[in-house]
Amino acid sequence: MFLAFLLEYWVQIIVNMDREISSKEQAWRRTRIYIVVTIVVMAIVFGFIQFKSIVEPAVKLSTLTTSIAEAGRMEATVPASGVITPEYEFSISSPVNAKIEQVLFNAGEKVLPGQSILRLNKEASLLAFEKLNEEQHVNRNKINQLSLGLEKSLDELKTQYAIKQMKISSLETALEHEQSLLAIGGSTDENVKQARLTLNVAKLELQQIKNQMDNQKATMQADLKSLGYEINIREKDIKGISDKLKNASISSPRDGVITWVNSKIGSEISEGEELVRIADLSSFKVEASISDTYADQVKSGGAALVRIDKTDLRGTISNVQPAVEDGTVKFAINLSNKSSKLLRANLKADVFVVTSYKEHALRVKNGAAFTGSEEQKVFVVEGDHALSRKVKVGESSTDYIEILSGIKAGEKVIISEMQDFIHLDKIKIK
């Protein structure tokens, strides 16, 4: 309608071009032209404003994720993975060669201290025990025989020794007699020499008998000592088998839950073969692994977070394995709350190794808007618009990003992905 009026006005001007116009009418016409131009300009401005409002980028608030910048604790972390395991898990092995005769508890069942889990057929071990006892009886009998033989040999040597002493006394008397006869001319030097030689030979024979007695004693004592050692060894073997036979019932040493049991009744098992695994489910630890990229961040005594069902449990790193296996480093975490109700054996959990800590830092929740750069653009909500800000970020964790500059405490930051609007300075929020 406005365009029709404008067209009609210009037609009238063209038609009246040849007609003389008074100064008053000319003034009126100029006024009308000013009015028309003003209206046209206003219409153009109004149209531009309306168009701008139509094409201005806008997003719905319901599609955005925001976070209020706040002062709080800032823990920089690196991700890892872990598995919850019982803090105390032990196995019971077979003390003897035997067969499984009866299974009293199955995997998953609770046991109390002293309760039997398996019964073993220990016939083979009993036979070995009886054999050792018989060998021990034989060894003890050998000792008796050696003792008797020693006493007999010593008695014979003692008799020979006494006889030889008496013979020496007789030979000494004979030598003295020959010497007396030689003095009165009733004997010869040859007879005296022969008597002296016979006496010396007898003395040597007496010394020989004494040496035989000493050697016999030493030999017999060595034999007895050797047998004594063998008997002591056998006694220890007998005691060991006896103790093993007493423990052949395979009972639990403490409260726990059976995690595995060899339930193959009738199967033969060797001494030392594992039979049962029992876990104490009243306390747990975490066996964790992390990419070797972060190996230098994992140190014994360092802090770690274990996340289960959106709940964080704190712990301390221990037992860091020095070797890298398949691109990962393995380590253990001792939990502060080892008996939390959230803990379950073999439950997988997210682990975060704490690399640095600040008690007071300006932070916002972590989100897709943060790209990992030290400086980047984010959007801050002000009224019904989101304004672009250049910010500098510091430490980061899975939960929070530290803001070093560009944002103040209390401001609302868009943390969802905004890559499509990163070239804009302002966005309308519906």
Is the overall model pTM greater than 0.85, yes or no?
no
DSSP letters, 275-288, are EEEEEEEEEEEEEE
Show me where the domains of the chain are located: 2-55, 62-86+278-429, 124-246
Low-confidence residues in the chain, pLDDT < 70: 1-30, 32-34, 36-37, 40-41, 43, 45-56, 121-129, 132, 136, 139, 146, 186, 224, 236, 238-249
Cβ-Cβ contacts under 8 Å for 367 (sequence gap 6 or more): 65, 67, 415, 416, 417
Could you tell me the two tokens for 66?
Answer: 């925001």
Do 62-86+278-429 and 124-246 show the same overall fold? no
DSSP state of 158: H
Cβ-Cβ contacts under 8 Å for 67 (sequence gap 6 or more): 364, 365, 367, 412, 413, 415
Q: What is the pLDDT of residue 268?
A: 83
> Tell me, what amino acid is at 248?
A
Q: What is the pLDDT of residue 16?
A: 53
| Phi and psi torsions of 384, nearest 5° | -100, 25
DSSP state of 301: T
Spatial separation of the C-alpha atoms in residues 160 and 163, rounded to whole Å: 5
> Tell me, what amino acid is at 141?
N
Q: What fold does the segment set 124-246 form as a domain?
A: Helix Hairpins (1.10.287)
Cβ-Cβ contacts under 8 Å for 127 (sequence gap 6 or more): none
> Tell me, what amino acid is at 105?
F
Give the total residue count for the chain: 430
Element (H, E) at 194: helix 189-246
Tens of pLDDT, residues 170-229? 878 877 777 777 777 767 778 778 878 887 887 888 788 788 878 877 777 777 677 777
Q: What is the CATH number of domain 62-86+278-429?
A: 2.40.30.170
> Tell me, what amino acid is at 41?
V
With b for 16 or more beta-carbon neighbours within 10 A and e for fewer, the 230-266 pattern comes to ebeebeeebeebeebbeebbbbbeeebbbbebbeeee
Q: What is the pLDDT of residue 364?
A: 93
Cβ-Cβ contacts under 8 Å for 186 (sequence gap 6 or more): none
